[in-house]
Amino acid sequence: MKPARVHNFGTYFISTQTWGRRSVFQTEKAASLFIEILYLYRSRAAYLLHEFVLMPNHFHLILTPVEITLERAIQLIKGGFSHRFRLEVNSKMEIWQRGFTDHRIRDVEDYAKHKRYLIMNPVEAGLCAEPKEYKYSSAAGSYELDPIPQRLKPLT
């Protein structure tokens, strides 16, 4: 287990999977609920949301926690979704695999590399031909996003 972060400085690429890699997000209801939860905590200023993609059995995010730890931000997203999903679907099934994978974004090139991976994920999985065609992704262009943090922008 990774030690808890004692600082809150950084932008992270996050990945996590559903329990047993089940395709929980195949349905419009589950996918829409996840995005609703993602934006609920963004609106409460828990984090800045820069990019995301929700795949049938996992998600990737680029986010910057605000006034909370990265672990707490992911707990809000995963726990918030699980709680609402169980209430609305009347299900007790396990939703998430334990933990998550994170990578601290170092600079603008690192950001671009992880953004490209994230937006190309549905294309590589054969879910669409172009990133903008996948509606559960920030690449679709229909979601409000926070700008890339100033400290990651190239010097001009």
Q: Would the CA dihedral through 59, 153, 76, 7 be positive or negative?
A: positive
Give the Cα separation of 85 and 88 in Å (integer).
5
**pLDDT the model gives residue 6:** 45
**pLDDT the model gives residue 144:** 97
In this prediction the pTM is 0.90
Residue 65 is classified by DSSP as E
**pLDDT the model gives residue 143:** 97
**pLDDT the model gives residue 150:** 85
Q: Could you read off the pLDDT tens digit of each residue along the chain, which spans 156 residues?
A: 555 544 457 999 999 999 999 999 999 999 999 999 999 999 999 999 999 999 999 999 999 999 899 999 999 999 999 999 999 887 788 899 999 999 999 999 999 999 999 999 999 999 999 999 999 999 999 999 999 988 887 665
Indicate the fold that domain 12-151 takes in CATH.
Alpha-Beta Plaits (3.30.70)
Nearest-5° Cα angle at 44, 38 to 47: 60
Three-state DSSP class for 58?
strand
Chain-centre distance of CA 58, in angstroms?
9
